[in-house]
Structure 1
Amino acid sequence: MTFDTKDEAYWTSLLVAVGTDRDRAAFEQLFRQYGPRVKAFLIRTGLTPGTAEDCMQDVMVTLWRKAHMYDPTRATVATWLFTIARNRKIDLIRKIRRPEPEDLPWGPQAEPEQSEVLALRDDSRRLAEAVAVLPEKQRDLIEKAFFGDLTHSEIAAQTGLPLGTIKSRIRLAIDRLRHAMDTDLQGTAQR
């Protein structure tokens, strides 16, 4: 069967072939079609050409490794790849912004002022009280995300909840916590 090379069904069939059969020829065609486009996208979004090339290579390796996870009913090949590229770029930026251990301060630190210690202790107590009164579903997710240090994807895998539900509940919980902390601060200031 022959396909027009611009037909989405053609690219989908290639990606499915990579996922099911580890088809190297299909991968090569996908790489030639989408590699330059992904690199151009990354450059347009602010990466240097060298960094965009590295990131594009990582995206294409991800295509090879995770092609079996592609669901053509949820996204086109291009959408799937550009989403991976966007996420890789975000990860790269976070990594760049993370300080190196040698850049972190070390040695004796000045003792904080007693008022700062008391304010921090008070804030911690108020936050713990606000978390305690959250609805159980929100509280559980907040504890997993912030105290358990789990990513949203890890929480989804652990709980079986959809990723969107987890993000919505956490966002609602944070809004409630912010409101509770602001209200508590306003009440303290009025006393």
Structure 2
Amino acid sequence: MTSPLEATDPYGRLIVAIAQGRDREAFAQLFQHFAPRLKSWLMRAGASAAAAEDFAQEAMLTVWRKAELYDPARAGASAWIFTIARNLRIDSLRRDARGIPDLDLSEIPDPPARPDDVLFAATAAGRIRTALQTLPREQAEVVRLSFFQEKAHAEIAKDLGLPLGTVKSRMRLAMTRLRTLLGDLS
């Protein structure tokens, strides 16, 4: 038994035919009728021509896939199809409003080192080791704790049992001497 709405709505009958037998001819008729109307309606609603075309095609594809969900007693074919298109557009606008997720750049591998950079780094490291060996033991120790063990000056002062001012003075003297010895590395 058919509902009264189904009997009076020729497009509803086409959707039922798609649901019952995957009727390609019925779908072609629906597509020919609704796709241009959907596109025009979506463009009037603010979608670009390309986006409106995509939404219209996606809506019609949804009609094909979900025709069995159509209930002629609840809505006419036109209302059902336009609601599908409207919901697709709303979903797209919501996705766009969230924006593009931030990329975690920490997972991108570093580019391989160039051979001349590797050579320069090795040469510089050797020169720095040599320069550090020329420092007085107290200054070298403060530099080592600060730069190689990444300790704060206050932490170094506590570890060595020295006043903070002494640690800072030793660091300043060491850096002045290292700049003089390694001036061309910067």
Structure 2 length-normalised TM: 0.50
Q: Structure 1, residues 40-78: CA drift from partner, whole Å, max 9, x if none?
A: 111111000000000111000000000001000000000
Structure 1 CA distance, aligned partners of 2:97 and 2:14? 37
Structure 2 CA distance, aligned partners of 1:42 and 1:19? 26
Q: Structure 1, residues 85-122: CA drift from partner, whole Å, max 9, x if none?
A: 111110010111222223x6988xxxxxxxxxxxxxxx
Q: Structure 1, residues 166-191: CA drift from partner, whole Å, max 9, x if none?
A: xxxxxxxxxxxxxxxxxxxxxxxxxx
Structure number with larger C-alpha Rg: 2
1:9 to partner: Cα distance: 2.3
Structure 2 CA distance, aligned partners of 1:98 and 1:84? 22
- Counterpart position of 1:142: none
Structure 2 CA distance, aligned partners of 1:26 and 1:79? 18
Which amino acid counterpart does residue 98 of structure 2 have in structure 1?
Answer: R
- Counterpart position of 1:87: 87
1:12 to partner: Cα distance: 1.2
Q: Which runs of 5+ in 1 are unaligned?
A: 1-6, 108-191
Q: CA RMSD in A?
A: 1.9
Q: Structure 1, residues 111-161: CA drift from partner, whole Å, max 9, x if none?
A: xxxxxxxxxxxxxxxxxxxxxxxxxxxxxxxxxxxxxxxxxxxxxxxxxxx
Q: Is contact 1:42-1:52 (8 Å) kept?
A: yes
Matches within 5 A, 1:18-57: 18-57=18-57
Q: Is contact 2:9-2:76 (8 Å) kept?
A: no
Q: What SS is found at the alignment partner of 1:46? A: coil
Q: What SS is found at the alignment partner of 1:39? A: helix
Q: How many residues of Structure 1 are paired with residues of Structure 2 in the alignment?
A: 100
Matches within 5 A, 1:23-172: 23-102=23-102
Which amino acid counterpart does residue 63 of structure 1 have in structure 2?
Answer: V
1:11 to partner: Cα distance: 1.1
Of all paired residues, the percent bearing the same amino acid is 45
Structure 1 CA distance, aligned partners of 2:76 and 2:89? 20
1:13 to partner: Cα distance: 1.0
Q: Give the 4+ runs in structure 1 shifted more than 2 A.
A: 104-107
Q: Which runs of 5+ in 2 are unaligned?
A: 1-6, 107-186
Structure 2 CA distance, aligned partners of 1:90 and 1:30? 23
Structure 1 length-normalised TM: 0.49
Which amino acid counterpart does residue 69 of structure 1 have in structure 2?
Answer: L
Q: Is contact 1:43-1:52 (8 Å) kept?
A: yes
